[in-house]
Amino acid sequence: MSEAARFAIDADHPALPGHFPGRPVVPGVVVLDRVLAAIEAAHGPLAALRLPQVKFVRPLLPGEAARIALEPLDASADGAPRWRFRVLHEEAVVATGEVHG
């Protein structure tokens, strides 16, 4: 896997209020949005996508630096591109999964 992007979600991100009061956690959808942005930055705009497999292993807290590692996979039978990803904070895995075009 190669590193594709680094990011941190600021404590004032609009998705954080209420997620969760007293102990904010970056929502999984925000993490996945960063994964898709990293794929598009490396490979150009993508059409409709599927995320057939995603696993969140630990929470990502506001302000924590994270990095995205991407691995291109063989195209699907219909020729659609596919990638495996890992999101890490330091060396701890935050999320893993696959994206299919």
Give the mean pLDDT of 29-49. Answer: 94
Domains of the chain: 2-100 (3.10.129.10)
Where is pLDDT greater, at 71 or 101? 71
Question: What pLDDT does 82 receive?
Answer: 95
Do 24 and 61 contact (CB within 8 A), yes or no?
yes
Neighbours of 61 (CB within 10 A): 16
pLDDT at 93 over 90: yes
- Give the whole-angstrom CA distance, residue 92 versus residue 51: 22
- 64: tokens are 């924590």
